[in-house]
Amino acid sequence: MSYYLKLLQTNYSFMLAISRRRYNLNLQYFNMGSALRTLLLDENHYMQSFSAFVNRSTENQCTQQFIETRFPEMMLSLGNGKSPINVLSVGSGSGELDLHIISKIQSVRRGRPITNNVVEPNVHQILKYKECIANTPGLDNVSFIWHEKTADEYQCEANEKDAKFDFIHMIQVIYYLDDLPAALTFFRRSLAPNGKLLIVLISGDGGWATLRRKCASYWSLKDICMNKTSWELTSLLDAMDAKYEKHEIPAELDITECFIEGNKNGELLLDFMTETCDFSKVASPDLKTFIMDNLKDPECSTIKNGKVIFKNYVSAIIIEAQ
């Protein structure tokens, strides 16, 4: 599995840890009744539905291409001649993408020592991360500092300190922040001169955001994980007069099987997209029809060669130091 998809997969632990702390395992978010059970509390079911998503999405390839083409240019200004280069990874999971990013920094800033701060709430993922380090050559000039906590917890405890980072990355993580404006202020303030903050999240112009807006009356958006989009983020950045670049990553997701009655993969994919266990079986006929109609709406999907292709767009926002 690729670095990016490993990160998406391991961010389930980040999401689950936060969900348990925030909602105390009481996540009945739909207004249609308790028959609909959130996917967040069933790890096995989540991973099955996530695999259905992974196997039908081009998000991996598209985001990998962005990393390969944009990272070298971003890395050139890091460090500003000082040593070491300080990196903060928020929602690190088991470390595969972190180490890939570090290798990109090493390729551009050859010989420079790197200090990588890891923010990850799940101790099992941290152990896997350390195993990954042990099996990865070329890390002699890289040191690691471990923060076994959520992003919100890190922010609260680090506010008193004056740590500055040359590069901060938060990939598919900001959905789980309690207070996005406060977090943006904090992480921007944590950038060193010439530093960069990379945030990857769902696009406000894609199918995910459209589906959430159209179906808002059926569930509480505050309890849906992917409830923040590039629209909300860039609006906040504009209000802060922040300097940033926005890059659209036009990934696609084949949801054709969702429209085949009884198709197991289609059912799992629907579970992932609605964040609901067994959505096809437990949703009311009216709710299911409403969701399916909106999934096929031109604002969410296109028809290509007889297949229904969901606009699985994501955005990469690169924020400059203040």
Per-residue DSSP letter, 216: G
CB atoms within 10 A of CB 149: 16
Q: Is the backbone peptide bond immediately before 250 cis, with ω within 30 degrees of 0?
A: no
| The one-letter amino acid at 146 | W
Q: With bands split at pLDDT 50, 70 and 90, how would you rate the model's confidence at 234?
A: very high
State the SS3 of 148-197: CCCHHHHHHHHCCCCCCEEEEEEECCHHHCCCHHHHHHHHHHCEEEEEEE
pLDDT at 42: 83
Question: Per-residue pLDDT tens for 18-56?
Answer: 444 443 334 344 444 456 788 877 888 988 998 899 899
CB atoms within 10 A of CB 22: 14
Q: How far apart are CA 190 and CA 182, in angstroms?
A: 12
Q: What is the pTM of this model?
A: 0.85
- What class, spelled out in words, does domain 3-320 have in CATH? alpha beta
Question: Per-residue pLDDT tens for 182-229?
Answer: 999 999 999 999 899 999 999 999 999 998 888 776 654 445 555 689
CB atoms within 10 A of CB 166: 27
pLDDT at 239: 96
Backbone phi, then psi, for 70, in 5-degree steps?
-95, -25
Helix 43-54, helix 3-23: angle, nearest 10:
150
Edge-to-edge, what's the strand order for the sheet holding 307-311? 252-254, 307-311, 301-304
pLDDT at 288: 92
- Is the pLDDT at 242 greater than 70? The verdict is yes
pLDDT at 228: 84
Which residue in 266, 271, 200, 296 sits closest to 55, CA to CA? 266
Question: Per-residue pLDDT tens for 129-187?
Answer: 999 999 999 999 999 999 999 898 999 888 656 789 999 999 888 888 889 999 999 99
pLDDT at 207: 94
Q: How far apart are CA 240 and CA 234, in angstroms?
A: 10
Question: What is the average pLDDT score of the chain?
Answer: 84
